[in-house]
Every structure is written in C-alpha cells, then in structure tokens.
C-alpha cells in the first residue's frame, strides 16, 4: 500500500514544521518501567495529523493507542522522540508551559472519563475554561450540552450518572474550550448505538465546520468510518495507515492482524 502524503514528510529531518499539521510525532518511543519489567509501548512512531482532519487510531488491546494519545497530547512525556502541537515542540517546554499549551490548544477525552466527583456536570464541563481563565462561548457550550443530551443533567454529580452519560460529560468538557486538537480515547465505548452516532456526528461536525482536528481511538469499525483516515497500531508501531477505508475494510484489516505472526511495518 502506498504511504499517504501525510506520512511521507515525516522523515525530512530539517523541515521540522509541516505546513498545516496540527500534531506531529517523530520517532516516538515510550518504555514504561525499567528492566527486567520494562514494557515498550511505542517503538518509534512517526505520524502527522493535518489540521482539520479526523483520524481513527485502532489496534489490539495493549498495542499502544492510549500511550500514543497521551504522549502526543503532552499529558505524558515520551522516553525519546519528538512531539509537535502546531509548531511547538513539546520536549523543549517546562511543565508550566506544557500545562498552558494543553489548556489552550488540546481537549482530551479519557478512556476512564476522569470526571471530578465533587463537581456537578455543569462545573465539570466548564472546568477547562475556568482553569485557563476564559469565559467561553456560552452559545457554543449550550450547543455542545444539547448535542450530547445533557441539558437535564447539569446539576447532577458524576456518581449520579450512567457510564454513557459520564462519557458524554467528558466529551462536552473536551469540546467546551474549542481546542485546536481533540484527542478522544474510546469516546463511544460506553454508549448505545444511537448516542454513539450523535457523538460521532458532533466530532465530525467540529472538524468540518470549524476546522478542528480530532484524533480518536476506537475498537469499533463503524465509529472509525466517520474518520478521514484510519491508523492501525500493533505492538507499538503503525502497521496500516488508510484514507477513508470504510467499515468493512477496517474490519478486514483488524482481522488480518490476528493472522500475522508478528506485525510488520507497511508502506
């Protein structure tokens, strides 16, 4: 399979700022723990996520998807390699600057929601705005709350919500500040088909209407079919990178991973 152009320009060593890239990772490597128990979660991933695109990241459990998202979003430091958000290279930044950049440019929907139990739904959604000292766009926040179906739950605490409702709060929180890049780790994992469809349509619309960038981990080929591109990880490396493959082809690629003795780099 030919590599797409987004993946091609990764190697050009001196051209550090790819025009139009929202996020870029180069030789990204992450090792958890130390020998003899060290786990290599990412072996040296290269990837470019262009502005205004929607990418689905797929692959078996333990293949490094969450690790890729967390290091690319500046939530965790890689063992080696580089990450750019816009034209800022993250390894150069102090913790304070990194936190500031995250608050202003990045939204993150965690696999485990990470809502604050002591705050109401409304307070959870508004938290990133509060933390970054912004007032926010009230009409936009209202629209997000409506579209994730939380209007009648705003004063509830997370513990009073179902798993799917908590997931929707996490999604609304990530969208509230209109960040340039939204990272979502299995944002529809706890949702029924209809609610999942609404959330995916909302993610699709922020990409199409406001040019934000979405990078979404999912195990669901139907969810992935909302994306412009599907990247498949296995054993900490990218093994497929496909523009708009459609649910059927995605399912075939995932099935083929189970058949190969060891994942190999393609392209």
Which chain residues interact with ligand ATP by CB under 6 A?
32-33, 39, 41, 59, 61-67, 111
Closest contact distance (angstroms) between CB of 142 and ligand ATP is 32
225 binds, among Mg ion, ligand ATP, none (CB under 5 to 8 A by kind): none
Q: Which helix (H) or strand (E) holds 198?
A: helix 193-210
User: What is the rounded CA–CA span in Å between residue 28 and residue 2?
Assistant: 22
To 10 degrees, the CA torsion angle through 43, 48, 54, 57?
Answer: -10
Nearer to ligand ATP, 12 or 61 (CB): 61
261 binds, among ligand ATP, Mg ion, none (CB under 5 to 8 A by kind): none
Nearer to ligand ATP, 112 or 201 (CB): 112
User: What is the rounded CA–CA span in Å between residue 88 and residue 124?
Assistant: 28
Distance of CA 53 to the CA centre of its chain: 12
Closest contact distance (angstroms) between CB of 221 and Mg ion is 17
Residue with the two structure tokens 């502005």: 51
Nearer to ligand ATP, 62 or 86 (CB): 62
Closest contact distance (angstroms) between CB of 223 and ligand ATP is 13
Closest contact distance (angstroms) between CB of 159 and ligand ATP is 24
Residue with the two structure tokens 């009648």: 152
Cβ atoms of 198 and 148 within 8 Å: the answer is yes
Nearer to ligand ATP, 33 or 133 (CB): 33
Task: Tokens for 18, please give them.
Answer: 């790819």
User: Can residue 66 be called a binding residue for Mg ion (CB under 5 A)?
Assistant: yes
Residues binding Mg ion (CB under 5 A):
66
């Amino acid at each position: 399979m030919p590599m797409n152009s987004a993946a091609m320009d990764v190697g050009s060593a001196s051209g550090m700022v790819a025009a139009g890239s929202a996020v870029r990772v180069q030789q990204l490597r992450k090792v958890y723990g130390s020998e003899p128990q060290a786990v290599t979660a990412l072996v040296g991933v290269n990837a470019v996520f262009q502005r205004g695109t929607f990418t689905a990241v797929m692959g078996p459990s333990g293949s490094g998807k969450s690790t890729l998202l967390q290091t690319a979003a500046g939530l965790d430091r890689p063992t080696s390699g580089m990450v750019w958000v816009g034209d800022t290279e993250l390894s150069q930044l102090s913790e304070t600057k990194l936190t500031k950049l995250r608050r202003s440019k990045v939204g993150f929907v965690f696999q485990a929601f990470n809502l604050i139990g002591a705050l109401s739904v409304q307070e959870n959604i508004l938290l990133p705005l509060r933390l970054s000292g912004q007032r926010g766009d009230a009409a936009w926040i209202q629209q997000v709350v409506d579209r994730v179906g939380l209007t009648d739950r705003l004063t509830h605490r997370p513990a009073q919500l179902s798993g799917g409702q908590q997931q929707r709060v996490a999604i609304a929180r990530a969208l509230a500040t209109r960040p340039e890049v939204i990272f979502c780790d299995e944002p529809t994992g706890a949702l029924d088909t209809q609610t999942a469809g609404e959330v995916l349509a909302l993610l699709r619309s922020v990409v199409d209407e406001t040019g934000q960038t979405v990078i979404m981990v999912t195990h669901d080929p139907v969810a992935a079919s909302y994306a412009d591109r599907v990247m498949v990880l296995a054993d900490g490396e990218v093994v497929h990178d496909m523009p708009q493959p459609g649910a059927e082809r995605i399912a075939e690629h995932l099935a083929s991973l189970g058949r190969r003795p060891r994942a190999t780099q393609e392209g």
